[in-house]
Structure 1
Amino acid sequence: MENQSIVSHFFLVGFTISVELQFFLFVVFFCIYLLTVTANVAIITLVRVDNRLHTPMYFFLSQLSFLEIWYTSSIAPELLINLAGWKDISFPGCLSQMYFYFSLGSTEFFLLGVMAIDRYLAICNPLRYPTLMNGQVCVQATAACWSVAFLSVFFLILLISRLTFCQPGVINHFFCDIPPLLKLSCTDTFVEQIVVFFFACIIILTSLFCTIVSYVFIVSTISKIPSTKGRKKAFSTCVSHFTVVTILYGTVIFIYVRPSVSDPLNVNKIMGVFNTVVTPLLNPLIYCLRNKEVKEALRKVINRKRLLTDAIIYNTK
């Protein structure tokens, strides 16, 4: 301890691949990032401009899209910088990245749980749904998701910031993730590992439990609908949300809800790319491809823009 210097900057290893492959991945991830931002902005715009989408379900969808933009922006730029060759990050910058990454991720879990409850109320209590899930309740539920997530993660990052990190400060990842960072501490991190593990369990598994319980009641209610057409219509409103939940929880549980943080992390890099870069693009695509109302709203906007373009061209002749 006395002969080691305290770390003020970390070196992010990233992907140990050839320069040519790094350039290829840089182009691919940059395009995915642009598509992610564009697709999620399109979802937000559609919900705002189309009156048919002014419902709690699409209000939460627009909130999810807004969240995805910032979620992927907390990691994707650093990934691109890492692939470009700049691998250093300061200790405050590392903590800031972790704070926003885990805060936004926790908010997404809470929001998906609220969306599951929304579907439960809409299908299982349709008569009381307008009262139970009005505009004020939607805003309050969303604000609670953001507030609880950001406040909870703040105390987690505060605990990690009190650790001492010594040279060499090499993080075996492409961003400042908690498991590889804890491996670099000069001091014993047993308490921090336990806190991180239980924090992940509480955030992820609690929201997952709410989602599962909601869908158990939803499936039970749908199975009692006499007509096949009615069952199909009711279930179609949940397919997109259920698909997003399955993808997100599957990857995050694999990465974080494990009793050890000292395992090799090469597989986690691949899963991390999928979770932070690919999934935020899949979410708007899933809702657009699986949701009839969103597709109709998108088609309406495109046709309106086409008519406007044709009118401008006609007037210029």
Structure 2
Amino acid sequence: MVTIMGNVTMITVITLDAHLHFAMYFFLKNLSFLDLCYSSVIAPNALANFSSSKVISFESYATQFFFFSLVVTTEGFLLVVMAYDCFMAICSPLRYSVTMQPGKCTQLVLGTYCDGCLNSMLQTSLTFQLPFCSSSHINHFFCDVPPLLQIACADSAVNELVMFVVCGLIVVGTTRVVLISYGYITVTILKMHSGSRGYKFFSTCGSHLTAVSLFYGTLLVMYAQPGAVESMEQRNIISIFYTAVIPMLNPSSTVCGTRT
């Protein structure tokens, strides 16, 4: 409920307030939409499994995984776009109005959705073409690749390699871009010789950076380091951060970040 209320409020306020119709808030609205999709894709079925039925059909499993992979990949790329927007606003303010025009912002957001869709189709098609054994017990609270590969009858080495390479490149690549962007932003703020502005930046963006670090950090451990998480119990705990905690934290952290 907190996730839904926070993100719906963010989307509504940005849509109705004409003063917020520019690049930064356009990206924030899309981030809230993606977080809202998180709560729609994962939470209802997980709550149903905790309370009553723990059965999900093969088709439903594939559908939930496709949309989960689409949303999580898209959000990773969108956070890069938001970091780039912040970089241009602070490090190159004279070029900001030209670089971040509405049309270009729309293209950037559409590009994140296209990248997310490509990765989702790749992971889904490779995973669900495998034959599966008679055991149908999945030790997880949502539909993901690692628990499904454990019950595959065929050799899943290719699937694991593709997941490691593709997801590793996405997570590591996007993380580096975000860190580099905020690094340049920090250096630029420190060169302004204005203590109040520097303090304002670090105080307002601190919570947003914390949420971003949790998001990328948990994804890095889960998908970009083979063997880093040995048991499914540990995977369940780590997965909670990027499936439930981050979508709930993002509305408050992004509101904090927009005060600069």
Q: Identify the TM-score tier after normalising by the shorter chain.
A: over 0.9
1:1-317 to structure 2, matched below 5 A, reads 34-235=1-202, 238-260=205-227, 263-289=230-256, 291-292=258-259
Whole-angstrom CA distance in 1 between matches of 2:136 and 2:175: 35
Whole-angstrom CA distance in 2 between matches of 1:148 and 1:284: 24
Structure-2 residue corresponding to 1:298: none
Letter paired with 1:177: D
Report the number of matched residues: 260
Query: Greater shift after overlay, 227-236 or 153-162?
Result: 227-236
> How far apart are 1:186 and its partner, in Å?
0.4
Letter paired with 1:214: S
Letter paired with 1:198: V
User: Residue 44 of structure 1 contacts residue 65 of structure 1 at CA under 8 Å; is this kept in 2?
Assistant: yes
Whole-angstrom CA distance in 2 between matches of 1:179 and 1:234: 39
> How far apart are 1:237 and its partner, in Å?
5.9
User: Residue by residue, what CA displacement relative to the aligned partner does 1:220-260 show, whole Å, maximum 9, x if unpaired?
Assistant: 21111012123234545643432221121122222222213
Whole-angstrom CA distance in 2 between matches of 1:40 and 1:236: 22
Whole-angstrom CA distance in 1 between matches of 2:255 and 2:192: 26
Shift in alpha-carbon separation, 1:273–1:235, aligned structure 2, 3 A: closer
> How far apart are 1:151 and its partner, in Å?
1.7
Shift in alpha-carbon separation, 1:290–1:57, aligned structure 2, 3 A: closer
> How far apart are 1:77 and its partner, in Å?
0.8
Whole-angstrom CA distance in 2 between matches of 1:291 and 1:106: 24
> How far apart are 1:203 and its partner, in Å?
1.5
Give me the CA root mean square deviation: 1.8
Whole-angstrom CA distance in 1 between matches of 2:209 and 2:240: 21
User: Residue 179 of structure 1 contacts residue 261 of structure 1 at CA under 8 Å; is this kept in 2?
Assistant: no
Larger radius of gyration: 1
> How far apart are 1:124 and its partner, in Å?
0.6
Letter paired with 1:231: G
Instruction: With the length of structure 2 as denominator, give the TM-score of the two structures.
Output: 0.94
Whole-angstrom CA distance in 2 between matches of 1:167 and 1:176: 18
User: Residue 90 of structure 2 contacts residue 188 of structure 2 at CA under 8 Å; is this kept in 1?
Assistant: yes
User: Residue by residue, what CA displacement relative to the aligned partner does 1:27-63 show, whole Å, maximum 9, x if unpaired?
Assistant: xxxxxxx221111010011112223322211110111
Q: Identical aligned pairs, as a percentage?
A: 38
Shift in alpha-carbon separation, 1:119–1:291, aligned structure 2, 3 A: closer
User: Residue by residue, what CA displacement relative to the aligned partner does 1:160-209 show, whole Å, maximum 9, x if unpaired?
Assistant: 11100011111111122111110100001011111111121011111111
User: Residue 46 of structure 2 contacts residue 142 of structure 2 at CA under 8 Å; is this kept in 1?
Assistant: yes
User: Residue 200 of structure 1 contacts residue 257 of structure 1 at CA under 8 Å; is this kept in 2?
Assistant: yes
SS at match of 2:56: strand
User: Residue 215 of structure 2 contacts residue 246 of structure 2 at CA under 8 Å; is this kept in 1?
Assistant: yes
Q: Which runs of 5+ in 1 are unaligned?
A: 1-33, 294-317
Runs of 4+ off more than 6 Å: none
User: Residue by residue, what CA displacement relative to the aligned partner does 1:276-314 show, whole Å, maximum 9, x if unpaired?
Assistant: 122211111223355448xxxxxxxxxxxxxxxxxxxxx
Whole-angstrom CA distance in 2 between matches of 1:151 and 1:110: 13
User: Residue 110 of structure 1 contacts residue 145 of structure 1 at CA under 8 Å; is this kept in 2?
Assistant: yes
